[in-house]
Structure 1
């Protein structure tokens, strides 16, 4: 069974990769999976293609001519939120955090298996669908942290906190059960759509980015298990 879009819901994917062989191989695979694929080979071309074609998701190489994938991600996210999976030749945490900080939702280190790439993109799109279904008018309040789910906005006290789409989904999952420990496996399933998968580094990297924005002590680590949203973190309301 294909991991691609559901029947009647053909999705558009932008593939940005300067290596013509990889670009062609990735594009061909997603076309075979039922996607409508748009291609770009450099930074400026990627931004222009995203604005023109309004893709449902973007597969984005980090190293590009013109300007790099991080700058591409920053510019396209400033225009509108769109799920982005970054392809990188390096696995250093600092590089990954830069990508997450400019709005990337996931990353895959080269060389990668095509099957995994397709599964990751499919999971990103399922998350978008679930987020749309969640938008029912719910506002979550934990201490002085307020999450307006349908508006996808977050405040700490009177100050609005600007989160990436993945950070917000992660916060919503934790805020749904304040004080309770949510396992990494559950977070992977609920936020990333990776049922039965392991990816602790993915979760940990996004939690680090979330903590940097909502403040220290808000997200507690349960070592070896997962994370919890604290109801009495320093600076929160009693």
Structure 2
């Protein structure tokens, strides 16, 4: 059964949601039958990459907050992340347009490395304070998970996988995603936000039960012996 997850690199709740969903999968007996696909979403397509600019200043400007309130919000999110074992260093976060990071993800997906790429991007942004729009950084992250550096460099210098990113963003609109993280299970059920593990587990159980009924496993024939078939012949 497929679970599609729309997310953006700069979304703090997406990384937290990833960990909580992973915890739910760890408790789910049929986890080996779940196929997870990461999907692209841009919270701010017009964002300029501005290394050195405070994320608190950015939030204050875009949301109408004071820098002090933005700091409070980031502190709360940092504490929430710590509860699931993540280290957020929001003071080090580099404001970066995520489009090329999503192209990096799309390429990684073609190699079966979508989840690994998503993990690298989140850690780079929230923990390590890396510039996730910088091509050299993305190539370093890619080689760390087994992508070919030369191929990735050529992709980033061109426009490949741009349409894949745009297609995911369009699909998000079609399935009703207005924010991220947004989880779609078997294209039937949706879970919005970084829900608690119990919520994800319940969603997995409900959607998988229905999926399993619609996709019964063929019987495994353990032994052949003498029998009679429909036309009456026996052997």
- If the TM-score is normalised by the length of the shorter chain, which range does it land in? under 0.3
Q: Which has the higher strand share?
A: 1
Q: Which has the higher helix share?
A: 2
TM-score normalized with structure 1 length: 0.23
TM-score normalized with structure 2 length: 0.24
Larger RCO (alpha carbons 8 Å, 6+ apart): 2
- Indicate the structure (1 or 2) with the bigger Cα radius of gyration: 2
